[in-house]
Amino acid sequence: MGNKTFTIIKPDAVRNGHSGKIIDHIIQGGFKINAMKMVQLTQDTAGGFYDIHRERPFFKDLVAFMTSGPCIPMILEKANAVEDFRKLIGATNPQEAAPGTIRNLYAKSIDANAIHGSDSDENAVREGSYFFSELEIF
Ligand code: IDP
Ligand code: MG
């Protein structure tokens, strides 16, 4: 089991003023922030990040949403990071997210669902290095 995961506070949460509360929720959940920045994704960077979903019917909307404003990618550290972070954020559809999870508290819909969390150790590494160089990781 790995001790790193990768997250993005998505544009809806940044726009709605929830990023501070979400960062605090993550820290209170026992995660250490190893890297963080605010970025505006482009069609290419958002499309590349979600390349595995390219053939899905919602891909075009997903890219439009992820480029709709700045977002905050972060690399996080904790024992059992990937699994524990998926628990902290809750189900993809906020209507199904457990009470007290980040998506339950701050997300409105399945597309604008406030936050990303890597689904495997392998993807956590791939996604982290998609956004951060070695010099930006503490
Ligand atoms: P995850 O973010 O919980 O891992 P994925 O299935 O990997 O969920 O989907 C990636 C992102 O694509 C979701 O977080 C959500 O923003 C969007 N998405 C997933 N399924 C749908 C859908 O059915 N309609 C619209 N957007 C979706
Ligand atoms: Mg996913």
- With respect to residue 56, please indicate whether it lies within any of the assigned structural domains: no
Per-residue confidence band for 53, with pLDDT thresholds at 50, 70 and 90:
very high
Mean local confidence (pLDDT), 87-102? 98
- The closest of 9, 37, 39, 35 to 22, measured between CA atoms, is 9
- With respect to residue 50, please indicate whether it lies within any of the assigned structural domains: no
Burial of 2 (0-12, 13-18, 19+ CB in 10 A): middle
Upper half-sphere CA count for residue 60 (Cβ side, 13 Å): 1
Q: Is 53 a catalytic residue?
A: no
Q: Which residues line ligand 1 (CB under 6 A)?
A: 53, 58, 61-62, 92, 110-111, 113, 116, 119
Q: What is the CB neighbour count within 10 angstroms for residue 51?
A: 10
Whole-model pTM over 0.95: yes
Q: How far apart are CA 16 and CA 116, in angstroms?
A: 16
- With respect to residue 47, please indicate whether it lies within any of the assigned structural domains: no
Mean local confidence (pLDDT), 81-95? 98
- Percent residues over pLDDT 90 in the chain: 99
pLDDT beyond 90 at 1: no
Mean local confidence (pLDDT), 52-56? 97
Q: How far apart are CA 138 and CA 54, in angstroms?
A: 32
Q: Of 18, 25, 53, 116, which one is the catalytic site residue?
A: 116
Domain coverage including residue 105: 4-40+71-137
Number of domains in the chain: 1
- With respect to residue 55, please indicate whether it lies within any of the assigned structural domains: no
- The closest of 18, 85, 11 to 41, measured between CA atoms, is 11
